[in-house]
Amino acid sequence: MRIGLVVTGGVDRSGRERVVPVLLWLIERLARRHEVHVFALHYSSHACTYPLLGATIHDVGRVDGPPGLRRWRLRARLVAALDAAGPFDVLHAFGGMPAAVVATRVARGTGAPVVVTFNSGEFVALADIHYGLQRRWIDRRAIAHTMHEVTRVTVETHFMAERAARHGRRPDVVPMGVDHSAFPLATRAAGPPWRLLRVASLNRVKDYPTLLHALVRVLPDLPDVHLDVVGEDTLDGAVQALTRTLGLERHVTFHGFQPTDRLATFYARAHVHVTSSRHEAAGVVVLEAACAGLPTVGTNVGYVADWSADRALAAPTGDPAALADAVVALIGDPARRHRLASAARAWALEHDADWTAARFEEIYRASVDARKSEV
């Protein structure tokens, strides 16, 4: 098949910096058996084309300006890029804005069926942190139109599927699996000291204040505990400042952005992986931790919501006390840590990157057959 993938970014030519690893793992596997072209929207400052992992990347260049004008210009650039590289048997867009919305608008002209994966905040509205595509009428309309027009809709978790169904479309649940060889099973030193790990960008939806306030509550029970934070800081030091305000400097280390090939070391030395997000469509770090045999305690979103309480421990969002209680309980119960980690790892290995590529190939073939039957 000739497959066109439409993404917002995450496919930098380095294959290491500014990438979305699950996308790269999928691209690499699809490219082994198909001709794959990836169209990146609103990413590099100038349009460019380059090879990556057996696929061809067509970056249409960054477009700035008011949202309506920006989408119109992105559509025009995508049409031109598709015309130059096409035709395609199927198009697959990742993320509601702009990839899915723009790809859906141009799909009729290509004649190809369109698969969309919603993997972000398409169905939520968190007004206080300006997050989610249900906050503004123009975005709500765009997502509704996309869901109505495309051939197939997929999401990564049942948590996300429930939210999609409320908006009029029952999707396929297709987890974006990881390359488990990048996160080998580790043997950890017994604590204390105890090491907690958070792998996520420092941004508002990841809710670091809840995590840090939870850590304050953990310390009376586990005074010899340390939190490692791995992720790019997008909040200009606000999280580090809160760490100092709460007197947690000795118990927290910020490691900044780390490429995927350096994450295994962090997963290997941690005892518990902790997430605190207010929303996750999935949470690939939960899968990475699982492959390394590291159990997760987190807020009740994404994979944590799906897996509770057989493969992860869940606490309500925005509740530091509940998150702290779950961490303390799991640290104090090594047998339960082992059971959760083993069950999570078995699931992640079964639904790895190879499984994901094969599942999408099935969806692509079914979509192509359905389009042919309409003609």
What are 103-140's pLDDT values in tens digits? 888 877 788 999 999 999 999 999 999 999 999 999 99
Model pLDDT for residues 266-284, shown as the tens digit of each residue = 999 999 999 999 999 999 9
Question: Parallel, antiparallel, or unpaired for β 272-274 and 194-199?
Answer: parallel
Are residues 167 and 288 both part of a single domain?
A: no
Angle between the N-to-C axes of helices 21-31 and 353-374, in degrees from 0 to 180, rounded to the nearest 10: 60
Are residues 21 and 138 both part of a single domain?
A: yes
Are residues 116 and 201 both part of a single domain?
A: no
Phi, psi of 361 (to 5 degrees): -60, -40
Are residues 240 and 364 both part of a single domain?
A: no
pLDDT at 227: 98
CATH assignment at residue 287: 3.40.50.2000
The angle at the Cα of 232, spanning 226 to 234, to the nearest 5 degrees, equals: 115
Residue type, 188: R
Predicted model pTM: 0.95
For the chain, list the strands marked E by DSSP. Answer: 2-7, 35-40, 48-52, 55-59, 90-94, 114-117, 152-155, 172-173, 194-199, 225-230, 252-254, 272-274, 296-299, 313-315
Are residues 312 and 343 both part of a single domain?
A: yes
Are residues 9 and 88 both part of a single domain?
A: yes
Are residues 110 and 57 both part of a single domain?
A: yes
Structural domain boundaries enclosing 153: 2-177+352-374
Are residues 162 and 302 both part of a single domain?
A: no
Are residues 88 and 105 both part of a single domain?
A: yes
Q: How many separate domains does the chain show?
A: 2
Mean pLDDT of 183-212: 96
Report the alpha-carbon distance of residue 32 to residue 92 in Å, rounded. Answer: 17
- Whether 297 contacts 330, CB under 8 Å: yes
pLDDT at 375: 58
Are residues 366 and 241 both part of a single domain?
A: no
Q: Is the pLDDT of residue 221 over 70?
A: yes
Model pLDDT for residues 343-364, shown as the tens digit of each residue = 999 999 999 999 999 999 999 9
Q: What is the Cα gyration radius of the chain? A: 21
**Average pLDDT over the chain, rounded to whole?**
95
Question: Parallel, antiparallel, or unpaired for β 55-59 and 48-52?
Answer: antiparallel
Are residues 114 and 194 both part of a single domain?
A: no
Are residues 361 and 343 both part of a single domain?
A: no
Of the chain, the percentage scoring pLDDT greater than 90 comes to 84
